[in-house]
Amino acid sequence: MKTVRFKKASNFANHLVLAEQLIQLGARPPIVSQLCRLSRQQSIDLYKSVKGCPPKQGMLPHDHQWVIQSTCRNIHASLFLGILDDIRRRLSIQQSSAQVLVDAYSIYKNIVSNIFIEPKGISLGAKQFSLDINRAWSLISMLLAGDLIFTVCACCRARFLSMIHPNATFSQCPICTVWTDRSGRRRWVSAKSKKPI
């Protein structure tokens, strides 16, 4: 008679619980499969079971320029990766894991939905999440690869993400180095722009 290895069964159960949490937060099967050690088909079947519909087809988000395309995106990405980095440092974790992603994204989502209420005409993208969990996962890999780095603004002391370009580092603060156009959109300061707000 074979002995049952409870440790492995327990690990599999933990992976299933984390996979379900990731799917409930919006993660697609390829991410669930990679982080929770499930096969592609297991991840798809679990997604259908949790969501009640088949997963979205197509490539996962992976745009190296996404963080610097707008100040709002930079603020959201900086907030999420700042939370994730703080969790990893506090727990002394070198690599990202499913549990760290679930915890960091849940905290990020809670902050955005409860605190980022639009203050007097300045829109930070509070009503719709600018950063979904699939984009968050791709940003983690960019941070771990060193394509993104944290910079502290000399003016407002905010910690924000800078982008490593082949020739230089794009490092404009999304809070200080911006101006508001006539339509109310916040834009990066450039040679053609008006005075920063």
Question: Is pLDDT at 118 greater than 80 in this prediction?
Answer: no
**Which DSSP letter does residue 97 get?**
-
Question: Is pLDDT at 137 greater than 70 in this prediction?
Answer: yes
Are the C-beta atoms of residues 52 and 62 closer than 8 Å to each other?
no
C-alpha distances in angstroms, 175 versus 51, 75, 152, 188? 37, 8, 11, 9
Question: Percentage of the chain with pLDDT > 70?
Answer: 80
Segment among 57-71, 83-97, 114-128, 140-154 with least mean pLDDT: 114-128
Residues 109, 142: Cα–Cα separation, whole Å: 20
- Global pTM reads 0.82
Residues 90, 92: Cα–Cα separation, whole Å: 6
Question: Is pLDDT at 45 greater than 60 in this prediction?
Answer: yes
Collapsing DSSP to helix, strand or coil, 68 comes out as helix
Q: What is the pLDDT at residue 169?
A: 66
**Which DSSP letter does residue 159 get?**
E
Query: How many alpha carbons lie under 13 Å from residue 151 in its C-beta half-sphere?
Result: 18
Top pLDDT among 197 and 117 is at 117
Q: What confidence category does residue 177 fall into, taking pLDDT thresholds of 50, 70 and 90?
A: confident
Are the C-beta atoms of residues 12 and 19 closer than 8 Å to each other?
no
Task: Give the residues across from 149 on adjacent strands.
Answer: 162
Top pLDDT among 16 and 95 is at 16
Residue with tokens 């924000």: 160
Neighbouring residues of 39: CB distance < 8 A, sequence distance ≥ 6: 33
Residues 43, 19: Cα–Cα separation, whole Å: 8
Residues 160, 81: Cα–Cα separation, whole Å: 9
Cα 11 from chain centre? 26
Q: Which residues of 140-179 are buried (b: 16+ CB within 10 A; e: fewer)?
A: bebbeeeebeebebeeeeeebbbbbeeeeeeebbbbbbbb
Query: Residues for the chain: how many in total?
Result: 197
Are the C-beta atoms of residues 19 and 39 closer than 8 Å to each other?
no
